[in-house]
Chains A and B, each alone.
Chain A
Amino acid sequence: MNRTQKAALIVLAMVALAALAAGLLAPSYSQQFRDSISAPPSSRFPLGTDDLGRDRLARLLYGTRVSVLLAPAAALLSTLLAGLIGGTAGYLGGRWERIVTAAIDLFLSLPWLFLLLAIRALLPLNTSPVASVTITFLLLGCLGWASPARIIRAGTRSLANSDFLLQARAAGTPSARLIWRHLLPNLRPMLAAQFWLSIPVFILSEANLGLLGLGISEPLPSWGALLRELENYSAVLQNPWMLAPAVLLVAVVSCLQLLLRTEDRTPC
């Protein structure tokens, strides 16, 4: 691990610790200080307050818990599904690959939004915000595998036709060992890339789903909901501390990218 990766790990650890210690650092994310709405940063409110007088720092810390736990979980689920389906298709090739590829293309075209609406309609209205957001992220994970599956399929096929795998096959290596010892290690960078790319996508997807009532319900905060405030661009110009969630997300995503960086034993 080089110095940059160590620094990235420290940043991620600090973010995780701050999220876990949210209860100690900032007692309440939902309490409205109605006499201090849209207040600038101060000793009492280090990141100011939002338009309902709620402590922005508290909401950021509690939102980190939600997003840092659930978005990676959804990303892991979608990556595993993509790896399983795309990898299998690419390895087996032939008719099976053609069927799976067509199924992936079909899956990508469908308006899954309506499935999310149907499931929301089935959930009781008094479902707790935590349960509701967990279900939302799970669904995102289940629905987000198709695009990366295509890439993984192409990568797997390329590997399946590679010389070293042909050599291993010619040497009589069983399929399970071929996959475990030769294919998966070479797919790992691709899967890792897919994993970290998906995390911010799912965080933002949750925010966009909020426009349709499928996001996190009040008062539970999430990064996605906090990021939606940035659409109010002229307010952001006047109150630049509103960028804190975006800065944090960029930092986390960049650190993950550096940490999970492949390969390349070269100095790059």
Chain B
Amino acid sequence: MLKHSVVLLFASVFLAQSASELRFSLRADPKTFHPLEVEDEASETIRYLTGGVLIRLNRSTQQIEGELASKWKVSENGRRIDFELRPKIAFSDGTPFTCEDVVYTLTQLMDPALHSPVGDGFRSTPGPLDAKCTGPSAVMARFPGPVAALAAQFDSVAMLSAHSPRKEAAVLGPFEVADYKPGSYVLLRRNPNYWKRDAAGKSLPYLDSIRLEIQQNRELELLRFRRGELDIVNKLDPEMYERLSSEMPHSVVDAGPSLDWEVVFLNELASSPLADYKRRWFRSEEFRRAISDAIHRDDLVRVVYRGHARAAVGPVSIANRFWLNAGLKPPVYSAASALDLLERQGFHRSGNSLFDRDGHKVEFSMITNAGNKLHERMLALIQQDLGQLGIQLNVVTLDFPSLIERISRSFDYESVLMAFTNIGLDPSDQMNVWLSSAANHQWNPNQKTPDTPWEAEIDRLMRAQAAAQEPGKRKAYFDKVQAIVADKAPMLFLVNPNVLSAVSPNVKNVAPATLRPQIYWNAERLYISGSLVSQR
């Protein structure tokens, strides 16, 4: 009798529908629900939660895994990829997923009129795509030119249905868009046809829905989290983290250094509207290294980031385990060595000020984006640090469009403090930063020919790593790039901020990662405690 009751109890437990909803916020309205047109963070969040991809980057292990594709093979030096698709998968509206959908999606992706960062990652060379079904569930795609880390690029490509009447609203991810109230929220509900199951055979996702509140104000977001109205705050600044950790210690997560950089660069453009003597300073690698040595990175970490950051080594964060050149160390703070470097270049101190060999007082400005408290604080610290050398640093905060205009169009700036967000692990994502001819070679962009021998060498090494397929070879090339950057200091890498989040203790199966999206990367396996796991 007792056995019966227990069995019945468990049966009812397992057969009951759960009513669990995860709530967190988006910083802005999504600009698009079309997965291939995603350019902003809010749209990317929705794409991640609703899109089904052939290959996924596991944010925890940093290794790629098959999703909709059970197998794949890259050949022809990174031009061709063949997929074997998982059988019996359907879109959210029941339309079967076939190789034709893959061909359709890739054709859309490679349309020159699309103009998206996702598509651009595959367009290393102009030309048409050759994609076709090679079997009932096999598909081949040949790109016009080699694509570095070709398989990993598919992590961002959500499959579209070629046949569904719902078009891009038919999805293969764990959730689908159920409702959208502009300015207010986006509601995602579980995809009833999601293909994935857990180890016990239960269908995923565990959650019934995800509610994404549109919330720009971080103080409000934190207030709502404290009140239990939100389950996750995906990005906390260090001050909020400290506050929350004293009130709700079990709710805060420090996942360690992110892939992002905080960096300073000086204007080295030969044609910039700067005074000649200033241009000479900025184009001197000894001057740049002196500035780098004079900045107290440990204080930036301790004072601005409250310990939740790491002094940066170079263009690769310590979080990027494979690609980091482990032989490099962060610059050590030393005002003495900085002064020594400057004196060897003919600079000298007189009173509290530093002068160059021609008697010009060393004074320049550093701009950053206004409203960013971390940057404003960093600038105040850097100002004091450089003041120790007798350098007068004028701090200027600008609204973001004005800042972009100065560093990308008019080049009317002297130095900049900026944050760089790295989405992926692969150095090929940074090609346009390191190639001297590229627009994002921020300190001296769009060079017709490399301005310096070391930039020419970086060009050669970056192209070599993009063309090579073997990971070890690619790493060797990129290690050399990192070493040159550390030596010549075109960019002064300051810190890699940590990934700081808040998660309600009610949310289970959270495995914080340093790669975006840090907390909900495994959304299909998250559940709310006290809710029941549903079973189909």
Q: Could you tell me which A residues sit within 8 Å of B by CB distance? A: 30-32, 34, 37, 51-53, 117, 120-121, 125-129, 210-215, 217-219, 231-235, 238
For the complex, give the distance between the alpha carbons of A172 and B370 in Å: 60
Q: Are B402 and A51 in contact (CB under 8 A)?
A: no
B371, CB-defined interface residue at 8 Å: yes
- Count contacts on B: residues with CB < 8 A to the other chain: 31
B304 to chain A, nearest CB (A): 8
Per CB-CB distance, the 7 closest pairs between chain A and chain B, nearest first, are A213-B370, A125-B365, A213-B397, A213-B398, A218-B395, A212-B399, A211-B371
- Among residues of A, the one whose C-beta sits closest to the C-beta of B392 is A126
Q: Decide yes or no: A51 and B377 within 8 Å by CB, A32-B384, A232-B239 being known contacts.
A: yes
Q: Are B384 and A126 in contact (CB under 8 A)?
A: no
For the complex, give the distance between the alpha carbons of A127 and B396 in Å: 9
B198, CB-defined interface residue at 8 Å: no
Q: Could you tell me which B residues sit within 8 Å of A by CB distance? A: 219, 222, 239, 243, 299, 302-303, 363-365, 367, 369-371, 376-377, 379-381, 383-384, 394-399, 402, 412-414
Q: Decide yes or no: A217 and B381 within 8 Å by CB, A37-B303, A53-B303, A234-B243 being known contacts.
A: no
Q: Decide yes or no: A217 and B380 within 8 Å by CB, A125-B367, A212-B371, A232-B219 being known contacts.
A: no
Q: Are A126 and B365 in contact (CB under 8 A)?
A: yes
Q: Are B219 and A218 in contact (CB under 8 A)?
A: no
**Which among B219, B239, B299, B396 has the greatest number of chain A C-beta atoms within 10 A?**
B396
The listed residue (B380, B396, B413) touching A52 by CB distance below 8 A is: B380
Q: Are B384 and A120 in contact (CB under 8 A)?
A: no
Q: Are B380 and A32 in contact (CB under 8 A)?
A: yes
Q: Are A217 and B398 in contact (CB under 8 A)?
A: no
Q: Are A125 and B396 in contact (CB under 8 A)?
A: yes
For the complex, give the distance between the alpha carbons of A34 and B302 in Å: 9
Residues of chain B within 8 A of A211, CB atoms compared: 370-371
For the complex, give the distance between the alpha carbons of A86 and B512 in Å: 62
Q: Are B394 and A125 in contact (CB under 8 A)?
A: yes
Residues of chain A within 8 A of B397, CB atoms compared: 210, 213, 215, 217
B210 to chain A, nearest CB (A): 27
Q: Are A218 and B365 in contact (CB under 8 A)?
A: no
Q: Are B380 and A117 in contact (CB under 8 A)?
A: no
For the complex, give the distance between the alpha carbons of A231 and B95 in Å: 51
Residues of chain A within 8 A of B379, CB atoms compared: 218
* Other contacts beyond A51-B377, A213-B369: 5, CB < 8 A: A30-B384, A210-B397, A213-B371, A213-B397, A234-B222
Q: Decide yes or no: A126 and B380 within 8 Å by CB, A211-B371, A212-B370 being known contacts.
A: no
Q: Are A52 and B394 in contact (CB under 8 A)?
A: no
- Among residues of A, the one whose C-beta sits closest to the C-beta of B403 is A213
Residues of chain B within 8 A of A217, CB atoms compared: 394-397
A–B pairs, 25, beta carbons within 8 Å: A30-B384, A31-B384, A32-B380, A32-B384, A34-B302, A37-B303, A51-B239, A51-B377, A52-B377, A120-B398, A125-B394, A125-B396, A125-B414, A128-B394, A129-B394, A210-B397, A212-B370, A213-B370, A213-B399, A217-B394, A217-B397, A218-B376, A219-B380, A232-B219, A233-B219
Residues of chain A within 8 A of B243, CB atoms compared: 234-235, 238
Residues of chain A within 8 A of B402, CB atoms compared: 117, 120-121, 213
For the complex, give the distance between the alpha carbons of A211 and B302 in Å: 25
A137 to chain B, nearest CB (A): 17
- Among residues of A, the one whose C-beta sits closest to the C-beta of B238 is A51
Residues of chain B within 8 A of A213, CB atoms compared: 369-371, 396-399, 402
For the complex, give the distance between the alpha carbons of A194 and B412 in Å: 40
Q: Are B364 and A126 in contact (CB under 8 A)?
A: yes
For the complex, give the distance between the alpha carbons of A233 and B116 in Å: 40
- Among residues of B, the one whose C-beta sits closest to the C-beta of A225 is B376
Residues of chain A within 8 A of B396, CB atoms compared: 125, 213, 217
- Among residues of A, the one whose C-beta sits closest to the C-beta of B278 is A126
Residues of chain B within 8 A of A212, CB atoms compared: 370-371, 399
For the complex, give the distance between the alpha carbons of A117 and B400 in Å: 11
- Among residues of A, the one whose C-beta sits closest to the C-beta of B363 is A126
Residues of chain B within 8 A of A218, CB atoms compared: 376, 379-380, 383, 395
B55 to chain A, nearest CB (A): 42
- Among residues of B, the one whose C-beta sits closest to the C-beta of A121 is B402
Residues of chain A within 8 A of B399, CB atoms compared: 117, 212-213
Q: Are B394 and A219 in contact (CB under 8 A)?
A: no
- Among residues of B, the one whose C-beta sits closest to the C-beta of A128 is B394
Residues of chain A within 8 A of B239, CB atoms compared: 51, 232, 235
- Among residues of A, the one whose C-beta sits closest to the C-beta of B379 is A218
Residues of chain A within 8 A of B376, CB atoms compared: 218
Q: Are B381 and A32 in contact (CB under 8 A)?
A: yes
B67 to chain A, nearest CB (A): 41
Q: Are A34 and B395 in contact (CB under 8 A)?
A: no
For the complex, give the distance between the alpha carbons of A128 and B396 in Å: 10
Residues of chain B within 8 A of A232, CB atoms compared: 219, 239
- Among residues of A, the one whose C-beta sits closest to the C-beta of B380 is A218
- Among residues of B, the one whose C-beta sits closest to the C-beta of A234 is B243
